Every structure is written in C-alpha cells, then in structure tokens.
C-alpha cells in the first residue's frame, strides 16, 4: 500500500513553490499525496520565520500533524527549521529537521527516517534524526534546483528563480535562514516554462527571496539578469502574462523600464518594498535607498505605465520610531499613492541587530500606528480601483466563487485588480452561453465596485 504524504506551506510564494516541488518528488517516487488532515503517514511542514507569529504558526502546524497521527513521521523544513533548529531539536513531536539546502533530498531523508522508525518499534525506542544544513552567509552556495510541473492554481504558475539575500536589513532573519544570493540557471527556468505551457498555464509569476538580485552571483562569466529572463519568457506566445514578485526600488531605472515596456505580456504590477517613508528610520533598518530614490522609481514606473499598480510593505513601530518619524512616513505614503499596502507591526527577531536596539516601541503604540495606516490603505486602494470604473479592460478569469448568494467568475487585470463577472447576467445577455471562462482572457466593462476589494464588470 502506498504511504500517504501531506504537505503544508507557511509564508511566502517561494515556500509555496518549494512545497509543490517536494510534493511532486514524493508523488514521482510512488507516494500518495493527500490533504493535510488525519490519516497521513508523513507530514511535511515548510516553515516560515519572517515574524514571531510565523514561528508560532509553524510550531502549531507541527504539533497539529502529530496529533492527527502520533505514529506519523513529522518533518520540519524551511526557514524556521533552518534558523532555529536547536529549538526544534528539543521538540518531541518532530522526527526530522531538514535544512533549506536539503529540500531536493527530502524523499531520501524521509525514507531513512522511516527505516529508523518502523511501526514494530515502541515509540520510546524510535530515533529522532536531525538533518541540518546551515548556510554560511559569508560564502556563496549553488542554487538548489527544484522543479514543478503544475501549481494548485489553474491559470497562474509561480516559478522560483532565485534564493538567498545579501542585504542584511537590521530587522530581518531571512539572510540567516536562506543564506547568500544564488540564481537559477536560465536554461532550467525556460525548461520549466515550457512544461507549464504544456499544462495550459497562461500566466507566469517570477519569485525569489531577493528577486532584484537575480544574476549577480553569476559574476563575469554570465550576463543574465532579471530583465533577460523576462524577455526570454516574453518570446513565448503561449504565455499571455508575466508578473514579478517583490522588487527593490533601486532596480527601477529608465533602461530597466524601457526594456520592460518592450515585453507586451509584462504585467505593470510593481511590488516595491518600502518599509518606512522616513529616511532616518530607513537608515536604522539598513535599507539601501532614500525616500527620494524610492519616489523617483515610482515616477519612472508611471512614466511608462500610467495606471501601474504600485504596492508595498510598511513596518510600523520600528525601534526608536518617534511620532515625527511616523508622521513623515505616513505623509510619504500619501505622496506616492499606493494601490495597496501591507502593514506590519515590527516583530522583534532574535539574532538580528534591531532586536538589540534601545527604544523598543510598546505594543499599544504599534497597534495604534498600524490601524492608522490600515485606514489610509483602505482609502488609497479604493481610489485606485475607482480609476478603472467605466473602462474596457482585459481580464484573465481564474475561478467561480459565490458572493452573497450569487455566482461570479473571478479574475485579474494585468494590474492585478480583482474583477467579478456575474454569471447570471451573462446568461441573461446570452441564453446560449455554456462555455466556461476559466483560464480565458476576456474583455469586459467595469461598472463599479462590488466591494472594497473587487470591481464589478459586464461583458
């Protein structure tokens, strides 16, 4: 009988990609992939450590897995497993710890653990094997080649092309969990694109831990950079849309934007990580740009794409953030006019420079500032969505969902504006309509806002 494997991913899209790749490795070796519920023989949790909350959620999922089957092999892999392996080694529910550079070996490592922990042995006699590969952040490492043939989403496929980070922002643990920058070979990227085309995917999202650094580790022997990968994928007529994950502001140059504009399938949705709109705070964070440089990048984006969606991340309550600094940051956010912001309260991370800084901000003040920026985000997001009312736009539809008792096709524009098309109105307009719109590009007219997150359209 096939052994059953359940996998769960926490955190970013890179983790989701890696979890999919690990699942395919198990499947190709004859294991049965099952939902994350009772009855699995092996539970693989791809952990996250970006915040204390992510740590807690990772531990909770590991314990949940063991509760669902106390005889199962519970595997901790990913960033939390890498950065805090000593803590996890003390946790009796975990059977195997796999470092961030060992995911490609996941099946072999699990099978070794299965041989150690046979059902015939009493639980007390079973061994715990910790397989740990700690990245030396002072050295470069080879990119660990993982592959996928499909994603859980039916229209949009994520492709990991880069790993690691050399930035060492004072608040961030990720360089210690992921190591230094490593880039994927362009030929392997394109082979994966071709496999995804064969599966019918029309949209590709390029992801990485520090995507803007793609190619810098190739040195003088390779010329590929992020823009080269984008242009190569853009030559594939089957791929209708190319999106990017989070970018650093300094990658936005006139030359970069000019070359992006030459790729018709590129989607003008730019997620530029800001973190603070105050230069003094940015300096303490060790962010390597100023607010002027960031704003200049936004102006360049809008020079080439007038209605581009510019989204960002903002941290409130960073150590020593005064009321004046917070107000400067808020004013800058309003000046940029983001399409969407993700607001985070500063989370103290053991092992980072910011954790040892004086001037830690009380939780109540962090919450107050966070709520203030969330209200600003809601206002700016609505303003952005209203730009599209009355326009004809192209939407790649993805799925059918029920909203307030009615069924809608849901999809996104190139700018990643979420669009709803009422199925009943389609039938009223065309009684003979029977074809599904999933994974189809359709031109629609935007009538207004369905809610604070979705615009309503008609054919």
Whole-number pLDDT of residue 118: 59
Spatial CA neighbour of 263 closest among 296, 297, 229: 229
Residue 348 shares a structural domain with residue 441:
no
Are residues 24 and 161 located together in one domain of the fold? no
Say yes or no: 378 and 260 in one domain: yes
Determine the Cα–Cα distance for residues 121 and 117; give it in Å rounded to an integer: 7
Regarding whether 329 and 405 lie in a shared domain, the answer is no
**CATH number of the domain that 323 lies in?**
3.80.30.20
Q: In this structure, what CATH number is given to the domain that contains residue 27?
A: 3.40.50.12160
| Pick from 243, 332, 322, 230: nearest CA to 290 | 332
In a shared domain, residues 192 and 270: yes
- Domain identity same for 382 and 396: no
- Cα separation of 240 and 242, whole Å? 7
Task: Note the pLDDT tens digit of each residue in 122-153.
Answer: 444 445 555 555 545 455 578 889 999 887 77
What pTM did the predictor assign?
A: 0.91
Residue among 67, 73, 172 at smallest CA distance from 113: 73
Any domain includes 136: no
**What is Dmax (Cα atoms) for the chain?**
69
Instruction: State whether 370 and 232 are in the same domain.
Output: yes
Shared domain check, 123 and 97: yes
Is 212 a member of any domain? Answer: yes
Predicted pLDDT at 137: 45
Question: The domain containing residue 71 runs over which residues?
Answer: 4-131
* E strands present in 127-177: 129-131, 156-163
Would you state the pLDDT for residue 418?
Answer: 97
Residue 229: which of 184, 196, 185, 186 has the closest Cα?
186
pLDDT at 217: 78
Per the structure, the count of domains in the chain is 3
**pLDDT at residue number 114:** 85
Place of tokens 């990227």: 189
> What is the rounded radius of gyration, in angstroms, for the C-alpha atoms of the chain?
23
Read off φ and ψ for residue 262, nearest 5 degrees: -80, -5
What is the pLDDT, as a whole number, of residue 139?
56
Tell me: do 363 and 436 sit in the same domain: no
- Enter the tokens of residue 98: 């796999």
Phi, psi dihedral angles at 9 (to 5 degrees): -115, 135
Which residues partner with 113 through β-bridges? none
Asked if the structure places residue 147 within a domain, the reply is no
Q: How does pLDDT run across 359-403, given as a tens digit for each residue?
A: 999 999 999 999 999 999 999 999 999 999 999 999 999 999 999
- Outline where DSSP puts E strands in 36-147: 42-47, 73-78, 96-98, 129-131
Would you state the pLDDT for residue 140?
55
Residue 116: the pLDDT is: 72
Residues 11 and 125 occupy one common structural domain: yes
Claim to verify: residue 172 and residue 93 sit in the same structural domain: no
Q: Write out the chain's pLDDT in tens, 459 residues.
A: 789 999 999 999 999 999 999 999 999 999 999 999 888 999 999 999 998 889 999 999 999 999 999 999 999 999 999 888 888 988 889 999 998 888 999 999 999 888 876 554 444 444 555 555 554 545 557 888 999 988 777 789 999 999 999 999 999 999 989 988 999 999 999 999 999 999 999 999 999 999 999 998 766 544 469 999 999 999 999 999 999 999 999 999 999 999 999 999 999 999 999 999 999 999 999 999 999 999 999 999 999 999 999 999 999 999 999 999 999 999 999 999 999 999 999 998 888 999 999 999 999 999 999 999 999 999 999 999 999 999 999 999 999 999 999 999 999 999 999 999 998 877 666 655 556 888 999 999 999 999 999 999 998
- Which of 354, 386, 418 terminates a domain? The answer is 386
Decide if 361 is inside a domain: yes
pLDDT at site 117: 63
Same domain, 242 and 339: yes
Q: What angle do CA 100, 159, 216 make, to 5 degrees?
A: 70
């Amino acid at each position: 009988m096939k052994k059953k494997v359940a996998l769960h991913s926490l955190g970013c899209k890179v983790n989701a990609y890696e979890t999919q790749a690990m699942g395919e490795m198990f499947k190709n070796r004859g294991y049965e992939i099952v939902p994350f519920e009772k009855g699995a023989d092996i539970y693989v949790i791809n952990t996250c450590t970006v915040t204390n909350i992510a740590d807690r959620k990772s531990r909770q999922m590991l314990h949940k897995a063991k509760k669902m089957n106390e005889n199962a092999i519970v595997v901790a892999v990913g960033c939390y497993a890498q950065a805090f392996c000593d803590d996890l080694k003390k946790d009796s529910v975990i059977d195997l710890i796999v470092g961030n550079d060992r995911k490609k070996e996941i099946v072999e490592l699990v099978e070794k653990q299965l041989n150690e922990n046979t059902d015939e042995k009493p639980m007390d006699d079973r061994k715990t094997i910790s397989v740990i590969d700690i990245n030396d952040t002072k050295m470069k490492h080879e990119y660990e080649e993982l592959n996928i043939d499909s994603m859980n989403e039916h229209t949009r496929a994520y492709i990991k092309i880069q790993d690691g980070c050399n930035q060492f922002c004072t608040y961030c643990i990720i360089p210690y969990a992921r190591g230094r920058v490593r880039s994927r070979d362009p030929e392997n990227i394109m082979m994966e694109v071709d496999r995804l085309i064969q599966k019918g995917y029309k949209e590709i999202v390029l992801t990485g831990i520090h995507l803007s650094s793609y190619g810098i580790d190739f040195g003088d022997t390779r010329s590929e950079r992020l823009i080269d990968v984008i242009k190569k994928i853009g030559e594939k007529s089957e791929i209708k849309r190319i999106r990017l994950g989070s970018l650093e502001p300094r990658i936005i140059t006139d030359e970069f934007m000019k070359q992006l504009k030459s790729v018709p399938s590129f989607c003008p949705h730019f997620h530029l990580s800001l973190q603070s709109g105050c230069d003094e705070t940015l300096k303490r964070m060790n962010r390597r740009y100023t607010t002027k440089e960031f704003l200049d990048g936004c102006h360049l984006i809008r020079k080439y794409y007038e209605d581009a969606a510019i989204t960002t991340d903002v941290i409130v309550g960073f150590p020593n953030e005064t009321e004046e600094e917070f107000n400067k940051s808020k004013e800058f956010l309003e000046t940029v006019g983001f399409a969407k912001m993700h607001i985070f309260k500063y989370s103290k991370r053991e092992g980072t420079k910011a954790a040892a800084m004086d001037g830690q901000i009380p939780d109540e003040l962090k919450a107050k500032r966070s709520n203030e920026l969330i209200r600003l985000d809601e206002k700016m997001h609505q303003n952005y969505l209203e730009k599209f009312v009355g326009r004809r736009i192209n939407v790649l539809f993805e799925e059918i969902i029920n909203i307030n008792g009615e069924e809608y096709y849901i999809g996104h524009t190139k700018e990643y504006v979420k669009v709803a098309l009422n199925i009943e109105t389609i039938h009223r307009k065309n009684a003979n309509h029977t074809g599904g719109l999933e994974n189809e590009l359709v031109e629609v007219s935007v009538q207004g806002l369905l809610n604070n997150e979705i615009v309503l359209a008609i054919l």
